[in-house]
């Protein structure tokens, strides 16, 4: 279902919600640079089927409402341009608004993909709202690696990701030894998205299992 959120600065944005309202765990799911498109709704529904109440805020509403992109070169360029118009502090306000829409008193986590992986990192380091955070191929995490997470964090990277070199992953490891990091041999950026050419089903399945186990371990009432 669709809902409307109001961020602390008064901005209104849409969000996709799924899962039982009486779920014992809750999760903010953060989009790639392609909007809350069919893939992100599928991700949300998958976590909902695992017993989570989930919400996926439309971060692009800051600059263009209802934007949903595909995965062609022109979509990548458009998504990057939209992302570039939104300050980090505004995306943080939007994910906090999403967190506030989840059931009160229920352990709450955040998971993000691509741009959302970086936003999930910011949620872990720049707020106290989450008890666990997971990031899949977040390209901006290395630049923010000296920010200390306020909750347990798990990260997933592809070994041959053209936008996240292994030196960045190693820099994160060195700066944040407490963070659980997995690298998938031969995988590129977006290996977890079934609609992308870089999709690797076995790695996506393994990363999903690890994410679910990590979240279950840390999101306990």
Catalytic residues, by residue number, are 114, 161, 189
CB contact burial 95-131 (16+ within 10 A = b; e otherwise):
bbbbbbbbbeebbbbbbbbbbbbbbbbbbbbbbebbb
Q: Angle at Cα 117 formed by Cα 115 and Cα 121, nearest 5°?
A: 120
Helices 115-125 + 88-101 axis angle, to 10: 80
């Amino acid at each position: 279902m669709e809902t409307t959120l109001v961020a602390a600065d008064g901005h209104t944005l849409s969000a996709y919600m799924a899962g039982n309202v009486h779920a014992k765990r809750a999760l903010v799911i953060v989009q790639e640079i392609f909007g809350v498109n069919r893939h992100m709704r599928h991700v949300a529904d998958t976590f909902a089927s695992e017993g989570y109440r989930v919400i996926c805020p439309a971060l692009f509403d800051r600059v263009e409402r209802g934007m949903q992109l595909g995965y062609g070169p022109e979509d990548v360029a458009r998504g990057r341009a939209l992302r570039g118009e939104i300050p980090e502090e505004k995306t943080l306000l939007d994910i906090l608004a999403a967190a506030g829409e989840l059931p009160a008193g229920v352990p709450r986590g955040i998971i993000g993909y691509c741009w959302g992986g970086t936003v999930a990192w910011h949620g872990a380091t720049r707020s106290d709202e989450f008890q666990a955070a997971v990031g899949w191929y977040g390209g901006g995490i290395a630049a923010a690696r000296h920010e200390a997470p306020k909750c347990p964090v798990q990260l997933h990277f592809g070994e041959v990701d053209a936008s996240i070199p292994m030196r960045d992953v190693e820099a994160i490891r060195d700066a944040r030894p407490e963070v659980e990091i997995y690298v998938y041999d031969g995988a590129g950026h977006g290996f977890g998205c079934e609609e992308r050419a870089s999709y690797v089903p076995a790695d996506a399945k393994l990363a999903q299992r690890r994410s679910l186990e990590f979240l279950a371990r840390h999101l306990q009432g």
